[in-house]
């Protein structure tokens, strides 16, 4: 009966009775014994040591060891009633201190010393706090951000998202007064935190700059720091080292704005980040930054130009061409054959030697920029008293087709800038004919 012989006598007798009454059960008992013996052999000393080590490493994060309040701890610095922007929005006290018997300092967000902290970093040394900095709040001279990126908070709450805390630098400068010893408050804060091995970079003093941008529909700022690039501050906050940027690509270039694509190395993989609607006046600063960091510029690569060509030249006349057919005389605007092969040359094509960012009339126009321009035109006309919301039925049609840029001249009466915007729009907009009909354009 194999391993069943090793059972205690009483248990063995009971098993034998069951087998006598139901012989097929013997196979089940044998299989069970073999399984238990195999499990026991796996519980060797090395396995036990690993389990004990794992338990020890997580012990500090268990509820029984978490801080129920900050009372009884050694408080080093407390900044009351600050605006917490991430990972939640609330006004709380920022407290730095140390638990008695522990050599490491903590960072806590709490309503008071008596209440349970809303969030606490029990370890703010470089092993857990990956990056921390003080940033200027764009367009608000007195305000600063404290940004802290870390691996783990106590309890792993809020998905361990970065901390973003806003404070009024001028008010704290006044409150701390003579304690600063001639330093600014930011300088005093960074020097005090350095004593507990918490390195905070004061980027308000370094050669840094920020630019307004969008990530999809989220409006924010791109911060270019000496060693990092940050986009924020609506979730998720992007933070990555400038040394991890594989390449940059400038796209959707108009006279007013452009987009930036960053390819960033993350471990063994790469991630792509797109930031749009960046003002043209910011191009020089960004270009200097990426050149200083020796980042590869893929804007003129064959792959990028091929993608742009495929995106903007589908080989078909498109909806605008179909719409033109529905307008009396509109067929005159449609050239014979494929409109994508029209002979009209763009003065500043990507292939030209004199192509420059910001001077493009090519396929990179931004729809929002054109819409903004149209709104500005309407506002100016309303102020002058010349705006009329009704269209003159006898006026010539402005419908045109991709590839027939020169044909706009036959209609005349176009403002030069407006004509250029129409040329840009005809390349980028993919309008639905039914929507044009509903709007009364055709």
How would DSSP label each residue in 278-324?
EEGGGHHHHHHHHHHTT-EE-TT-HHHHHHHHHHH--SS-HHHHHHH
Measured distance between the N- and C-terminal CA atoms of the chain, rounded to whole angstroms: 92
User: Do 207-295 and 71-206 have the same topology in CATH?
Assistant: yes
Classified by CATH at the fold level, domain 71-206 comes out as PH-domain like (2.30.29)
**pLDDT tens, position by position, 308-331:** 544 555 444 454 455 445 545 555
Q: How many helices (H) and strands (E) does the chain have?
A: 11, 16
Domain ranges of the chain: 71-206, 207-295
**pLDDT tens, position by position, 129-184:** 999 999 999 889 899 999 999 999 999 999 999 999 999 999 999 999 999 999 99
CATH: 3.90.180.10, 2.40.50.70, 2.30.29.30, 3.40.50.11540. Which one for 207-295? 2.30.29.30
User: Which residues of the chain fall short of a pLDDT of 70?
Assistant: 1-6, 40-65, 206, 301-442
C-alpha 75: how far from chain center = 35
pTM: 0.57
- Apex 54 CA angle, 53 and 56, nearest 5: 65
- Please give the DSSP secondary-structure letter assigned to residue 378: H
The number of residues in the chain equals 442
Question: What Å distances lie between residue 60 and 47, 76, 153, 161, 233, CA to CA?
Answer: 22, 21, 11, 20, 31
Q: Which residues sit opposite 108 in a β-bridge?
A: 95, 120
């Amino acid at each position: 009966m194999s391993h069943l012989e090793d059972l205690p006598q009483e248990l063995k007798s009971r098993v034998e009775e069951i087998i006598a009454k139901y012989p097929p059960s013997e196979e089940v008992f044998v299989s069970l014994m073999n399984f238990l013996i195999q499990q026991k052999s796996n519980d060797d000393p090395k396995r036990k040591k690993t389990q004990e080590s794992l338990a020890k490493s997580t012990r500090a994060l268990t509820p029984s060891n978490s801080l129920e309040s900050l009372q009884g701890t050694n408080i080093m610095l407390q900044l009351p009633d600050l605006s917490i922007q991430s990972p939640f929005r609330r006004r709380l006290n920022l407290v730095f201190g140390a638990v008695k018997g522990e050599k490491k300092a903590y960072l806590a967000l709490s309503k008071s010393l008596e209440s349970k902290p809303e969030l606490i970093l029990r370890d703010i040394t470089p092993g857990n706090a990956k990056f921390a900095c003080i940033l200027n709040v764009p367009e608000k001279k007195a305000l600063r951000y404290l940004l802290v990126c870390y691996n783990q908070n106590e309890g792993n709450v809020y998905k361990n998202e970065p901390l973003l805390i806003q404070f009024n630098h001028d008010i704290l400068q006044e409150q701390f007064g003579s304690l600063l010893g001639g330093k600014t408050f930011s300088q005093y804060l960074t020097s005090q935190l350095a004593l507990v091995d918490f390195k905070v970079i004061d980027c308000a003093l370094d050669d840094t700059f920020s630019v307004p941008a969008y990530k999809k529909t989220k409006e924010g700022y791109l911060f270019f720091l000496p060693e990092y690039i940050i986009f924020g501050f609506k979730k998720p906050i992007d933070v990555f080292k400038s040394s991890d940027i594989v390449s940059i690509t400038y796209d959707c270039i108009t006279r007013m704005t452009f987009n930036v694509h960053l390819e960033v190395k993350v471990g063994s993989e790469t991630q792509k980040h797109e930031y749009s609607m960046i003002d043209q006046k910011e191009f020089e600063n960004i270009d200097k930054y990426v050149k200083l960091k020796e980042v590869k510029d893929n804007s003129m690569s064959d792959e990028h130009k091929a993608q742009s060509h495929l995106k903007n030249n589908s080989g078909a006349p498109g909806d605008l061409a179909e719409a033109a057919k529905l307008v009396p005389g509109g067929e005159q605007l449609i050239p014979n054959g494929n409109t994508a092969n029209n002979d009209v040359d763009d003065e500043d094509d990507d292939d030209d030697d004199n192509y420059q960012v910001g001077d493009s009339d090519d396929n990179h126009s931004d729809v929002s920029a054109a819409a903004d321009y149209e709104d500005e035109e309407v506002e100016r006309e309303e102020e002058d008293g010349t705006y009329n919301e009704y269209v003159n039925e006898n006026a010539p049609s402005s419908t045109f087709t991709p590839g027939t840029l020169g044909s706009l001249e036959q209609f005349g009466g176009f403002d030069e800038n407006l004509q250029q915007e129409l040329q840009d729009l005809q390349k980028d907009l993919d309008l639905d004919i039914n929507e044009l009909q509903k709007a009364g354009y055709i």
